[in-house]
Structure 1
Amino acid sequence: MIGNFSFTRALPLLLTALLLPAWSMAQTAAQSATVARIPLLDQPALQSAKAPRSVLLAVTRAGERLVAVGERGIVLLSDDSGASWRQAKVPASVSLTSVQFVDAEYGWAVGHLGVVLHSTDGGETWSKQLDGIQAAQLALAAAQQSGDERLLKGAEWLVADGPDKPFLDLYFSDRRHGYIVGAYGLILRTTDGGASWQSWMGQVENPEGLNLYAIDAQGGELFIAGERGLLLRSSDAGQSFQALASPYEGSFFGLLSSRSGGLLAYGLRGNAWWSSDRGDSWQQLDTGLESALAAGIELADGSLLLASQSGELLLSDDSGRHFEHRRTHEGATVAAVEQAADGSLTSVGLGGLSARQEIQAAARP
C-alpha cells in the first residue's frame, strides 16, 4: 500500500479509470507476475484480425486519422473516418489506456507497466520512451534530491513494487511539452518530447498519494482530476499544482474543457460538475444517470457529449449548463468517443469498435 491506495481500491483504474469489470484486474496482476518471465514491455503487440473486437480504451484524432488503443498493446488506425481499420506496429504488449496527438504526426500513448509510447508518423509505428521501472527510479531520484521524507518513502515503495505502474492519462501542449498521470499519485513531465522525463510528484499538492485519473488544459491553466474528489489546478504553466475545494467526495474519471471557457469534471454514479470560473466554484449537473460517466468530448458544432460506461449518451447544446439524455448506445460499453473528420462518431469499449451509424444515431434524435 502507498498513501491510501490499496489493491481493492485499484479496481477502477487497473485496466482503465472507467470501472471496467474485475477480470481486467486479474489480467493486470498476471502481467505483473509474469513480467520477469515474459518481457511484455519489449514484446511487440501481436497482429490479429480480432484486434477491432478486442478491449479498446481510448480513441483520438491524428489530423484526419482516427487512432484507437487498448489491451495487449493494440493500436488501430482509420483513414476513412472509422469505416475501416488496420493495426499499427507497437513494440510492447501491455494495455494502453490513453492516447493523444498534437498534430497529424506526433503522438503519445500511455498504459500499464508504466509504458509511454511515442509516434512521429501518425501512429503507423511506435517507440517506447518510458516504463514503470524507469518511472519509479525517476521518482526516487527526485525524492532524494528534495529531502521530503514522505516523497522518499513513497518512491522507495514504487521501486520495490516493480514495473506495474499504470499511467491513465496524458496532456501535451505541443511536440515538446507534456505530462502523464496515473496511479499512486504518479505524475511526470517532459520538455523535450519525451526524450527525458522528470518526476513531478513533489510539485503537486497530493499528500495522500491519491490516484490521478485525468489531466486537461483550459484557458492557459492545467487541471487534474482524481480519486476521492481530488481536483488540482496549475496557474503557473505547470510548475506547480494546487488542490481546489472539491464539491464531491467520489472519484472524478474525466475532465472536459470547452471552447466557451467552461470546465466539466465527471465520474462515479453519473456525477458531473461544471465550472465557469477556472475551478473556483462548481455547479452540479442533473444527468439522471447512476452509472459512471466514462467519456466526454466537444463536437465540431460546440455541443458537448458525455457517455456512461453503460452506453448512455448525454448531449448539451448550451455550453455544458444542461445535458439532455439521448438514446442509449445499445449493447455498447463505452470507454471513449471521438468525432471523425467527416463529423461521424466512433466509440470504443469492452467490445472493441462500435459502428459509426449506431453511435451517431444514439447521439442525435
Structure 2
Amino acid sequence: MQMKSGLTRTMVEMAVLLTLPFAVTGAHAEPELLVRPAIHDTRASNRVMLAISRAGERLVAVGEHGIILLSDDNGKTWTQASVPVSLTLTNVRFVDATNGWAVGHGGVVLHTVDGGKNWIKQLDGVQAAALVHEAAAAAAGEGGEDARRALAAADQLVADGPDKPFLDVYFADERRGLIVGAYGLAFATEDGGKHWRSISERIPNPQGLHLYSINVSGNELFIAGEQGSLFRATGGWESFTRIATPYAGTYFGSLVANNNAIVVFGLRGNIYRSGDAGQTWQKIDGGNTTTLTAGLRLPDGRLLLVNQAGQLLQSHDAGSSFRQLTLRSASALSGITQAADGSLVLSGVRGVTSVTLATQFAEQKQ
C-alpha cells in the first residue's frame, strides 16, 4: 500500500469529505470519541443514518455520533443500541440474527453478539496503523525500494493517528471477515475480529485509492472504489485482480445480477454494466446525474439503486436498463435493505424510512 505521505489532517479530512457522499463529520477522530459512548437521543431516528442491514428479522441502522438503531417491527419504530464510541459509523453487516459488525470513522470496528443491542470495540485507527507498520517493517527487512516506501507510508499512518475511516465490512461467517476504507486500507480476520491483519498489499492499488464497498456473489468478491477502481477476488481474499472499467470517477458500489452481469455505480449518476466478467462495459442511462450511493438485489432478481436526490432506480432486466422511482417525500439516501415483510427500508439524511415499493413511490418517466 502506498499512502499519500505528508498529508496534513485537514487535507485528509477534505479528501474523504469530497468523496464520501454522506460523511457529515470530519474524518479525523478526536481520541476521546473512541472511548466516549454514544449518547442516547430521543430524536435518534431522525439523525443522519449512513447504512442499514438485516439481522434475521431485525433491522439495524448506523450513522452519525455512533448512533445505532434497531427495529423489530419492519421499521415502524426504532430503539437505540448501546455503543461504546461517538464516532460516525459508515456501514454495518450481519452474518445471522445475532452476530454483526459495524465500521466507521477513526478506523473503528464494532462487534455485537446479541443482534445489535450491545456493541464492543474490536479495532480502532491507532491499532490498525500499528498493524500496517508491523507488516511494512517486516517487508522492509527483506530489502527493496517498494518495501522502503511502504514503511515510510506506514510511519506516516502511525503519525496521523486515528483519522482514516473504514467504509465497508463483510463477513463470510462468524470467523472470516474483511474491512476496507480510505487510502486503500484493508484488513482481514479469521477469528471473528479478535485479531486483524493488513491485506492492503494484496490489492493492486499502489495509489492508495479509497475503497468504498464490498459485494459478494457466489465465490467472487468485488471491491469498488475511487477513480474507477474495481477489484475481484475468487474463493477468498488472499489475491485480488484489478478489473479495468471505462469510468475515471468514483464507484460507491456494485451489484451482481442473477445472470452474473456486474453493475457498478457511483458519482454523478454513472452506471456501467458488464455481461462478460468485466472484459467489456456498457454505460447505462440512469436518467439523471445525481450521485448513486447504495444498491440492493431483491430475491426476485430486480436491482435497486438509491441516490442523493431521494430516488430509487429499478431494473427488471439484470441492469440493462433502469427506470426512476421517486419517494413522495424525498431526501438524500445512503442505504437500502428489504425488511422481513417485503417493504423497503432506507437510510439517509433524515434518518430511516420504511416504504412499500408498490404504493409509496411515484414512477418518473425518463
Is the counterpart of residue 352 in structure 1 residue 351 in structure 2?
yes
Change (3 A) 1:329 1:196: farther
Alignment correspondent of 2:21: 19
**Which stretch of structure 1 is more off in the superposition, 320-329 or 171-180?**
320-329
Alignment correspondent of 2:35: 42
RMSD over equivalenced CA pairs, Å? 2.3
**Which stretch of structure 1 is more off in the superposition, 309-318 or 191-200?**
309-318
Change (3 A) 1:272 1:173: same
Query: 1:240 offset after TM fit, Å?
Result: 1.5
8 Å CA contact 2:179, 2:187 repeated in 1: yes
Q: Provide the rounded CA distance (Å) in 1 between the counterparts of 2:62 and 2:209.
A: 25
Alignment correspondent of 2:112: 119
Change (3 A) 1:308 1:146: same
Is the counterpart of residue 76 in structure 1 residue 69 in structure 2?
yes
Change (3 A) 1:233 1:304: same
Task: Output aligned runs, 1:15-164, within 5 Å.
Answer: 18-20=20-22, 24=24, 27-28=25-26, 32=29, 34-35=30-31, 39-147=32-140, 148-164=147-163
Query: 1:156 offset after TM fit, Å?
Result: 1.0
Name structure 2 gaps, 5 residues minimum.
141-146
Q: Provide the rounded CA distance (Å) in 1 between the counterparts of 2:362 and 2:136.
A: 47
Q: Deviations over 1:220-252 (max 9, x none)?
A: 122111111111111352111122212110011
Q: Provide the rounded CA distance (Å) in 1 between the counterparts of 2:235 and 2:342.
A: 35
Secondary structure at the residue paired with 1:89?
coil
Q: Provide the rounded CA distance (Å) in 1 between the counterparts of 2:286 and 2:251.
A: 15
Alignment correspondent of 1:321: 320
8 Å CA contact 2:74, 2:354 repeated in 1: no
Change (3 A) 1:363 1:264: farther
Q: Provide the rounded CA distance (Å) in 2 between the counterparts of 1:9 and 1:299.
A: 36
What percentage of residue pairs aligned between the two structures are identical? Answer: 48
Q: Provide the rounded CA distance (Å) in 1 between the counterparts of 2:47 and 2:208.
A: 32
Equivalent residue letter for 1:59: I
Report how many aligned residue pairs link the two structures: 355
Q: Deviations over 1:4-48 (max 9, x none)?
A: 988568557449x64237xx2xx326x63x42xxx2111111111
TM-score after normalising by structure 2: 0.91
Is the counterpart of residue 287 in structure 1 residue 286 in structure 2?
yes
Q: Deviations over 1:108-136 (max 9, x none)?
A: 00000000000111111111100000000
Equivalent residue letter for 1:3: K
Point out 4+ residue stretches in structure 1 off by more than 4 angstroms. Answer: 4-12, 357-360
Alignment correspondent of 1:232: 231
TM-score after normalising by structure 1: 0.91
Change (3 A) 1:10 1:28: closer
8 Å CA contact 1:136, 1:159 repeated in 2: yes
Q: Provide the rounded CA distance (Å) in 2 between the counterparts of 1:73 and 1:122.
A: 17
8 Å CA contact 1:67, 1:77 repeated in 2: yes
Q: Provide the rounded CA distance (Å) in 2 between the counterparts of 1:102 and 1:236.
A: 18
Q: Provide the rounded CA distance (Å) in 1 between the counterparts of 2:26 and 2:71.
A: 28
Alignment correspondent of 1:3: 4
Q: Provide the rounded CA distance (Å) in 2 between the counterparts of 1:358 and 1:302.
A: 15
Q: Provide the rounded CA distance (Å) in 2 between the counterparts of 1:66 and 1:278.
A: 33
Secondary structure at the residue paired with 2:346?
strand
Equivalent residue letter for 1:57: L
Change (3 A) 1:363 1:253: farther
Alignment correspondent of 1:337: 336
Q: Provide the rounded CA distance (Å) in 2 between the counterparts of 1:258 and 1:212.
A: 21
Q: Deviations over 1:50-88 (max 9, x none)?
A: 100111000010111100000111010011110111011
Is the counterpart of residue 177 in structure 1 residue 148 in structure 2?
no
Q: Provide the rounded CA distance (Å) in 1 between the counterparts of 2:278 and 2:298.
A: 22
Q: Provide the rounded CA distance (Å) in 1 between the counterparts of 2:79 and 2:38.
A: 13
Q: Provide the rounded CA distance (Å) in 2 between the counterparts of 1:109 and 1:238.
A: 19
Is the counterpart of residue 195 in structure 1 residue 194 in structure 2?
yes
**Which stretch of structure 1 is more off in the superposition, 259-268 or 154-163?**
259-268
8 Å CA contact 2:75, 2:353 repeated in 1: no
Change (3 A) 1:347 1:42: same
8 Å CA contact 1:132, 1:164 repeated in 2: yes
Change (3 A) 1:173 1:363: farther
Equivalent residue letter for 2:190: T
8 Å CA contact 1:295, 1:307 repeated in 2: yes
